[in-house]
Amino acid sequence: MRRALLSALARVDCQVCYEWVGESGNDEGFSMNSAAPQPPLPLPLETLDGPLGQRIIETHIWAVREGLRGAKAYELFDGFCQRLVIHGVPLWRAHAAMETLHPQWNGYGYTWRRDLNAIQPERYAHGELEESIWLNSPFHQLIERAQAGELNPEMRRRLEEGPEQRDFPVLQEFFAAGGTDYFGHLFEFGENGDRSHGSGIVYSFTTDRKGGFSEDDTTLLRATLPALSLAMKGDAGHVIASGLLGTYLGEDAGRRVHNGAVERGSVESLHAVLWYADIRGFTPTSDSAPGPVIIDLLNDVFEILAAALRPRGGQVLKFLGDGMLAIFSFADGDRAETCRRALDAALEAMQALVVRNEARAAAGLPVAAVDLALHLGDVLYGNVGATDRLDFTVIGPAVNEVARIEALCEPLDRKVLVSAELAAAVEDGGDRLEPLGRHPLRGVKAAKEIFALNLNAGL
């Protein structure tokens, strides 16, 4: 089993050093409770009445207030670093990184630099980490200690005191750039490695002041990072939920569900372009190749189709076996322009499929012929299903009609068919649309006028 870890990769870019999240583990995330929890070390403070105590209280209250407000991690970490500077901490560089749960991204992080007085956000793709660099990093050691049972481990390295304090390559780089002191801290989220709100968060803080951080500086960090981490955890859960909803339901549907559109039967009328694509002859293709090869084919086809939709406002609603249903809503543009964008997307997708099929055939892999239908109509958009299993989808006669139009692609020997409703809405279809006459649609009373998209037309 691979263990997905919250990790850091240290590298140098000119005079700037970065730490970022990678992965090196199993799909269960990192669970750091192999031993009984240990009580935190007491802070070297007898009272909070003095200046340091007041700074702790002020920062703690700020973190709690911002967390309750729902501040983003970017704002939280930037605000925290700004408050450290205001409170006299000689901060030179700071970094925070968290694991996330997303098909594309393994984690994200934020680097604060004094020379910019700003945050640099970063996202880390799966498989981006170089194993040798990760294994020889401070963050890796912090996670190993946490997995061994140490509660919220920290690391202090006084870089100017000698080579033994610079026992990781990134610390040597910090020292060469002027760093004098390094403080790292890890906080885990949850007790059983539940990744639904993130596995945890790691921080590093570096100064270039001669003599390094003072005892008050590190006390302020130790006392206030738990409150900051709780606020960051709240945002991490929100980011994970919104990302997964958008990935599995579609960007618009996911946003609606996350914003409260969750009651069964709650739907709204929508006038939209409907896009329905299906792989021609998929059954014999799937019978002739191993399962993983077919999955790779489907991923190739769906990515090409979706890539054409993304920049034009199309929203994938669902994948139906070897088919795909998407919509273009008129909410974000006028009628004619939205229809033109849908035609452009269809043309781009078909051209890209030709190129991809040539590459697959050259590699000895199965290829896919895709049929596509575009229609214009009114649909109901929202929650449909059972009490305990809902689908956020579109229903209505127009949905049935676009599927029936797609079924005409093979008998009419055309790749992309367009309804008369959409053709009329385009207004200036010109030589892009070829009339094919009226054709009966299964389950529809009257025959429908059908047009074909000219695949040789320019975008």
Condensed to tens digits (0 to 9), the pLDDT of residues 279-316 reads: 999 999 989 899 999 999 999 999 999 999 999 999 99
Q: Would you state the pLDDT for residue 101? A: 82
Residue 190 within any structural domain of the chain: yes
- CA atoms of 381 and 433, how far apart (whole Å): 29
Q: Would you state the pLDDT for residue 335? A: 86
In the block, tokens 């606020």 appear at 231
303 and 199 in one domain?
Answer: no
338 and 239 in one domain?
Answer: no
Tokens of 459: 């975008």
CATH of the domain at 441: 3.30.70.1230
CATH of the domain at 122: 3.30.450.40
187 and 111 in one domain?
Answer: yes
Strands (E), 387-454: 389-395, 416-419, 433-439, 448-453
Tokens of 38: 């240990």
Residue 20 within any structural domain of the chain: yes
Share the mean pLDDT of the chain.
86
Q: Report the sign of the C-alpha dihedral through residues 416, 417, 422, 423, in that order.
A: positive
Q: What are phi and psi for residue 432, nearest 5 degrees? A: -75, -30
Domain count, the chain: 2
220 and 103 in one domain?
Answer: yes
Residue 254 within any structural domain of the chain: no
159 and 123 in one domain?
Answer: yes
183 and 51 in one domain?
Answer: yes
429 and 298 in one domain?
Answer: yes
- CA atoms of 106 and 418, how far apart (whole Å): 40
Q: Would you state the pLDDT for residue 21? A: 37
Domain boundary among 248, 283, 309: 248
- CA atoms of 218 and 88, how far apart (whole Å): 12
Domain boundary among 248, 283, 303: 248
Bridge-based pairing of strands 369-386 and 389-395 is: antiparallel
pLDDT-wise least confident of 41-50, 188-197, 340-349: 41-50
Residue 381 within any structural domain of the chain: yes
279 and 223 in one domain?
Answer: no
Q: Would you state the pLDDT for residue 192? A: 66
**Who's near 18: CB < 8 A, 6+ residues apart?**
9, 10, 11, 95, 111, 120, 122
230 and 131 in one domain?
Answer: yes
Angle at 11 between CA 10 and CA 14, to 5 degrees: 145
225 and 294 in one domain?
Answer: no
- CA atoms of 249 and 33, how far apart (whole Å): 34
313 and 244 in one domain?
Answer: no
Q: Would you state the pLDDT for residue 28? A: 39
Residue 256 within any structural domain of the chain: no
Bridge-based pairing of strands 9-13 and 16-20 is: antiparallel
CB 73 within 8 A of CB 66: no
Buried b (16+ CB within 10 A) or exposed e, 232-246: bbbbbeebbbbbbbb
336 and 239 in one domain?
Answer: no
Residue 94 within any structural domain of the chain: yes
Residue 277 within any structural domain of the chain: yes
Domain boundary among 215, 248, 281: 248
Give residue-wise pLDDT tens across range 217-256. 999 999 999 999 999 999 888 888 888 888 888 888 888 8
pLDDT-wise least confident of 11-20, 76-85, 151-160, 360-369: 11-20
Tokens of 316: 């994938």
Residue 424 within any structural domain of the chain: yes
CB 454 within 8 A of CB 433: yes
- DSSP alpha helix (H) spans, 109-149: 131-135, 138-147
275: pLDDT confidence band, cut at 50, 70 and 90? very high
Domain containing 102 equals 9-248
